[in-house]
Amino acid sequence: MRSFRPEGLGLNAILRHLELVLSSVGIVVIFAVPMLFFRRPDLRWEAAAITAAAVGVIHGIIFYVVRRRQRLIRRDTIREMQLVVDDIVRN
């Protein structure tokens, strides 16, 4: 079990829990935008639906970029490891 470390509350903690952070912010935005900008209740639902769709698209783009970067880094690391192993086997 991990111990609580105050220095872990920075950018690394946000990146480590990116999905939770973005989902929480997205929910707040979905509720806040209609409440702040639309006074009529019938417009609030429409605004909430449009905001939710926009948040979903933004989440999808962010998650795609993050996963793609992880995949590229993993691929480069594996290639580097293969070169090291090939060098060890040859010598």
> Who has greater pLDDT, 5 or 55?
55
Residue 43 pLDDT: 86
Grade residue 8 by pLDDT with cuts at 50, 70 and 90: low
User: What's the predicted TM-score (pTM) here?
Assistant: 0.67
Grade residue 12 by pLDDT with cuts at 50, 70 and 90: confident
Residue 51: which residues within 8 A CB-CB, separation 6 or more?
Answer: 29, 30, 33, 34
CA 5, distance to chain mean position in Å, is 22
- Report which of 87, 15, 18 is spatially closest to residue 58, judged by C-alpha positions: 18
pLDDT digits over 22-80, tens only? 899 999 999 999 988 888 888 888 899 999 999 999 999 998 998 899 999 999 999 99
Please, are residues 33 and 46 in contact by the beta-carbon 8 Å criterion?
no
Q: How many CA atoms lie within 13 A of 63 on its CB side?
A: 12
